[in-house]
Amino acid sequence: MPELFLSPRVRSTPFSPGVRAAAPKALTVYNHMRLACVFESPEADCAHLKKHVQVWDVAAQRQVEVTGPDACRLVQWMTPRDIVRVSVGACAYVPVCDDSGGMLNDPVAMRLDVNHWWLSLADSDVLLYAKGLAIGAGMDVSVREPDVSPLAVQGPKAEDLVARVFGDAIRDIRFFRFAICRFNGEDHIVARSGWSKQGGFEIYVEGRHNGMPVFNALMEAGGDLNVRVGCPNGIERLESGLLSYGCDITREHTPYQAGLGAYCHPETVECIGREALLREAAVGPSRQVRCLDIGGAPVPQLTDFWPVTGDGGGIGRISSAAWSPEFRTNVAIGMIDRSHWKGGTEVEIHAPDGVRTARIREAFHR
Amino acid sequence: MPELFLSPRVRSTPFSPGVRAAAPKALTVYNHMRLACVFESPEADCAHLKKHVQVWDVAAQRQVEVTGPDACRLVQWMTPRDIVRVSVGACAYVPVCDDSGGMLNDPVAMRLDVNHWWLSLADSDVLLYAKGLAIGAGMDVSVREPDVSPLAVQGPKAEDLVARVFGDAIRDIRFFRFAICRFNGEDHIVARSGWSKQGGFEIYVEGRHNGMPVFNALMEAGGDLNVRVGCPNGIERLESGLLSYGCDITREHTPYQAGLGAYCHPETVECIGREALLREAAVGPSRQVRCLDIGGAPVPQLTDFWPVTGDGGGIGRISSAAWSPEFRTNVAIGMIDRSHWKGGTEVEIHAPDGVRTARIREAFHR
């Protein structure tokens, strides 16, 4: 594989010195920023994550901060999820849609105060969408990217590690809630969240100068916990059914097609794409994200979509796939036509190394 | 350097099979898409570009298509450049600004028809900005990313090569103008433009299925011209003063700071950021892009900004730098405070391998 050419356009993060010292084997670019993908190997990184604790530089989850009298109006306009129900101190997974109901991002929204929101982004410039909407509609609101960089602590020992650095109060934070915690005399938001199902926290480190001090404090406090520098793991997230925006779901897909219907309330909220979403909700989506088990030996790295056929015709595509050592199968995510959703249905996957049989699952592995 | 981890989120292009066969040594990600950066070496790629002809996969220059009755109103709102002066068949370099005058992109706008525009983007999701503005202001306009992928043909033999594939009529296309040319019975826009000063064209290949046929036709027709698969070259563009958005200029900079005052007409046009731009135009920018020659041996690869000091204080940063074999110096671009703009001024560059002396130039090398 070719190397990633580094330049300031592919932004470094406040934690980059720590990541560089841990010598990642592969990086990607996410929101114009560096994001590690592999340290030892996807399999070894996955096994370690499930047993111990890892510190992840996920600064690439950039924040869009929305403040001001019209903040709630703007955030509500951007998502079909009813944000009135999101209280201060809570996180909410909010699909962001355009006027055809197509998904522009799937951020976690955090309500810091009544009129103060952060959207913790997947990989697209929602900052520009929010600015455009606010300018276009003449809203009384401020939209900016603050100097905030999330650092995730994930794995079964994450709570113990974070408690050592931020205090035992973090143990009381419930899932998808956050608290304000002090480090070196400065406040940071600590949320019980993260892109794995191994449990853990995301520390929203405020101020670039605080990046390496927080990173180093966690690494130093975790020696006996076998802490490692890690990164979002492609195997674990597939087993767990965590979607990757831009890959498993794109602008061409609606929240219903992404399987996020539970987070959509177009009947009751005034959001962009409302009419399109109501129409689709009435008849149901024609295609949807599905978990599949792909037979045969471990699949090669998926670098582009793999076509899926069933009953002699094209019925979708595989967007992510990897061998799972835990479940002894190739776990995959695909966008599949409604005709072939039923659990147990057999379909064919056209991988670069040949055609394989796969089976639609009723649910993800974890 | 770590490798680039490939997934469908880092989109392949219609020309990816051709690029892969030419075995690039380094890639980057640009508009969520793969973009090669190095084939043989930056120096060897540069020397070949200046002597022969190269075919570049620049599909990552994604298009934002704006059509409909309000198309001109939307495009004009996005840029301080007076687009009334841009005729059908012409290209125009248009800074795109937010309400504080900060640059969100620096695309080339092409006017395909009176109410039909393409913005050929640098690296940011202007699609989302345009959608937001159109939705917010309730404009009667369609905004989308069409299935169009630019393929650049650059170098002194570019005209001969493009003429062999698209016909001699392309010789009459003037700089920053375009014509509609046929290939295999389908129309494509061919513009005399490109991100080098070696001369050449950009072919806006319409339809993914046409990608490799056009690519292969150019490579096959250019055997005796010593054609190679290439990519935008970091040395040549620095010698030529071609700015890289996200690197040399960012959201934090205005068009005046980017040295693009000649493309700004806030006195006469109704654009976003007008008040901020008028204020800055009145007093002049406090900092601006400058060309510098950095002394000493060839500089290491610049992966993050290098601080610049002068007269004992911080006066800016270097955003791009490379050794130029042609000009026998390190050529660089920096954002420099007004106090140190004068040609010949000596400043200090704080590179990772030590402090060097640099000299501000009055103009770029080419």
Q: Indicate yes or no: CB of B8 within 8 angstroms of CB of A302.
A: yes
Confidence band, pLDDT 50/70/90 cuts, at residue B1: confident
Q: Is residue B96's pLDDT more than 90?
A: yes
DSSP-assigned letter for residue A340:
G
Note whether B21 contacts A: Cβ–Cβ < 8 A. Answer: no
- pLDDT averaged over every residue in chain B: 98
Q: Which of A9, A129, A133 sits opposite B246 (nearest CB)?
A: A9
Q: What are the backbone dihedrals phi and psi of residue A210, each rounded to the nearest 5 degrees, phi first?
A: -85, -5
Residues 302-361 in B contacting A (C-alpha not used; CB under 8 Å):
302-305, 319-320
Residue A1's pLDDT is 84
Q: Indicate yes or no: CB of B5 within 8 angstroms of CB of A12.
A: no
Q: Is residue B91's pLDDT more than 90?
A: yes
Residue A121's pLDDT is 98
Residue B326's pLDDT is 98
Burial grade of B36 (CB within 10 A; 0-12, 13-18, 19 or more): buried
Two tokens at B327? Answer: 């000009």
pLDDT digits (tens, 9 = 90+) for B3-36: 999 999 999 999 999 999 999 999 999 999 999 9
Q: Which of B3, B7, B320 sits opposite A247 (nearest CB)?
A: B7
Q: Indicate yes or no: CB of A304 within 8 angstroms of CB of B244.
A: no
Burial A344-360 (b: 16+ CB within 10 A, else e): ebebbbebeeeebebeb
User: What's the whole-model pTM score?
Assistant: 0.98
- Which amino acid, B18? G
Q: Indicate yes or no: CB of B123 within 8 angstroms of CB of A32.
A: yes
- Specify the DSSP element, H or E, that contains B88: none
Q: Coil, strand, or helix at residue B330? A: strand
| Set of chain A residues whose Cβ sits within 8 Å of the Cβ of B123 | 9, 32
Q: Indicate yes or no: CB of A2 within 8 angstroms of CB of B3.
A: yes
Looking at the complex, report in whole angstroms how far the Cα of residue A170 sits from the nearest Cα belonging to chain B.
34
CA distances from A17 to A10, A24, B179 (A): 15, 12, 49
- CA–CA separation, A36 vs A25, rounded Å? 8
Give me the tens of pLDDT residue by residue for chain A, a chain 366 residues long. 899 999 999 999 999 999 999 999 999 999 999 999 999 999 999 999 999 999 999 999 999 999 999 999 999 999 999 999 999 999 999 999 999 999 999 999 999 999 999 999 999 999 999 999 999 999 999 999 999 999 999 999 999 999 999 999 999 999 999 999 999 999 999 999 999 999 999 999 999 999 999 999 999 999 999 999 999 999 999 999 999 999 999 999 999 999 999 999 999 999 999 999 999 999 999 999 999 999 999 999 999 999 999 999 999 999 999 999 999 999 999 999 999 999 999 999 999 999 999 999 999 999
Note whether B268 contacts A: Cβ–Cβ < 8 A. Answer: no
Q: Which of A25, A301, A305 sits opposite B2 (nearest CB)?
A: A25
Looking at the complex, report in whole angstroms how far the Cα of residue B198 sits from the nearest Cα belonging to chain A.
23
pLDDT digits (tens, 9 = 90+) for B313-333: 999 999 999 999 999 999 999
Q: Which of B128, B145, B301 sits opposite A126 (nearest CB)?
A: B128
Q: Indicate yes or no: CB of B28 within 8 angstroms of CB of A7.
A: yes
Residue B168's pLDDT is 97
To probe the interface with A, which of B131, B229, B245, B308 has the most A CB atoms within 10 Å?
A: B131
| Set of chain A residues whose Cβ sits within 8 Å of the Cβ of B319 | 8
- CA–CA separation, A245 vs B32, rounded Å? 11
pLDDT digits (tens, 9 = 90+) for B268-307: 999 999 999 999 999 999 999 999 999 999 999 999 999 9
Residues 95-154 in A contacting B (C-alpha not used; CB under 8 Å):
98-99, 104, 123-126, 128-139, 145
Counting other chains too, the contacts that A322-328 makes at CB distance below 8 Å and 24 or more residues apart are: A322/A42, A322/A234, A322/A235, A322/A238, A323/A43, A323/A235, A323/A298, A323/A299, A324/A235, A324/A238, A324/A239, A324/A365, A325/A43, A325/A46, A325/A47, A325/A235, A326/A46, A326/A50, A326/A239, A326/A365, A327/A239, A327/A293, A327/A365
- Specify the DSSP element, H or E, that contains B181: strand B178-183
SS3 content of chain A, % helix, strand, coil (to 5): 25, 35, 40
Contact indicator for A85, A76 with CB cutoff of 8 Å: no
Q: Which of B123, B128, B245 sits opposite A132 (nearest CB)?
A: B128
Confidence band, pLDDT 50/70/90 cuts, at residue B156: very high
- CA–CA separation, B174 vs A56, rounded Å? 51
CB atoms within 10 A of CB A260: 22
